[in-house]
Structure 1
Amino acid sequence: MGRKRKTYKEKIVSDLRRKVYSLESVNTHSFVPENKNSSSIATLQNQVRFDQNQSTFVLFDIKKTSILTASIIAIQIILFLILKNNIVSIPGISY
């Protein structure tokens, strides 16, 4: 089954809608502060603040990542020592 194509009227309507939305977006972005104090306040409000809750999430992620990394390294060292001392031998791998 073929794809439904737009009619000429639908194309005109969508083009007008696009023009209206572009004009609305231009009007919303044209805000210019009048004095320097309001611009500094606006920049302070836009900055991201680092809350205590966010720091606990970061610390939890760092702790989880470090535990996972340390366990992977420990498993690799143990596997190396087992293969080095010929406790377990894997055909084709010799240390």
Structure 2
Amino acid sequence: MAQTKAISKTITSLLDLRERFNLTPTTNEQFSSEFTQDLPELTDSEIATLDQIRHRFWRHRERGSLAEGTINQLVISPLLTLAGLYDEPFFLDKLCCNI
């Protein structure tokens, strides 16, 4: 009988995923155009901030796996700040965030 393993036990890194499925990253903006249609224009400052977040993530990610908390610090929190989701009228729920 064939033995099966969980995908998370079989593919453990982005490098492993790329090699197993012969994948290559793309910077082609038309690759997933459904995610880029009808969006508001970004300011130069917003573009610079997004580029910085992307660069920061990949610089850390290239050295190995990142814990969820690290990803939150590097990517999620800066994106939420950029989107204004820490500002009025939004509030963090004390129960959901263990504050």
Could you state the TM-score of these two structures normalised by the residue count of structure 2? 0.26
Bigger CA radius of gyration: 1
Higher helix share: 1
**Structure having greater relative contact order (Cα 8 Å, sep ≥ 6):** 2
TM-score (norm 1): 0.27
